[in-house]
Amino acid sequence: MRIDKFLSHLKYGSRSDIKDQIGQGRILKNGLVVRDPGEDVLPDSDLVDVGGERVFYRQWIYLMLNKPQGVLSANRDDRQKTVIDLVPSPYDRFDLDLCGRLDLDTEGLILLTNDGDLLHQIISPKKDIEKHYEATLAHPLGDYSALEKGVRILDGKDLPYVTKPAKVVPLSDTRCQIRLTEGKFHEVKRMFEAIGNEVVHLKRVAIGGLRLDPDLPSGACKELTFSEVQAVFR
């Protein structure tokens, strides 16, 4: 790959900017000053420096993010802080997408990646990947058998919809884990409303076999290996 294209993709500037920096002798490859913007670079093996900063590169990035409340599950927004705004350097140089969104006031596990094939596998309804949530309720859980059969709610377009059967694991009188294989708009909240209850706090703790690291602070993220991400499909 041309070095100007490589650095432009990593948001070090436009190709014109990169050309200017090369003219200033600010870009090195394997310790030698680069003179030609068209010089080839092997991203996985060559060491590239820009203005004294070593360029970080991975072909594929996988990040576990512990989303806080009040942060929008989106790539960008003009008014609201998004999960992408929480991504630290050097990962913020990559174009990342979300594997599964969360409501504004829902916290917990979000997977961010630039691996489009893996992303589509995870979000595909055909895969039936379970999402695990811990819900705190306004009232005692009571009889939840209807949730395990499917309840009628309104979907994101306010159209009647019957949910797929969920799995419910009581944790206390007013706390439970609920596992779904779909993700309609406000689905967990609407499901509990359908049985006369109210969700006052909701946190996603797992996607398939990938569990949120309990030691990961709210708002923080950590890099995962491909094999760790594959746990989603277990």
Catalytic residues: 103
Two structure tokens written together for 188: 């967990």
Q: Is 123 left (phi over 0), alpha (psi -120 to 50) or beta?
A: alpha
Between CA 129 and CA 201 the distance in angstroms is: 23
DSSP letters, 43-81, are: TTT--EEETTEEPP--SS-EEEEEEPTT-BSSS--SSS-
- DSSP bridge pairs for 48: 29
Exposed, middle or buried by CB within 10 Å (0-12, 13-18, 19+), for 155?
Answer: middle
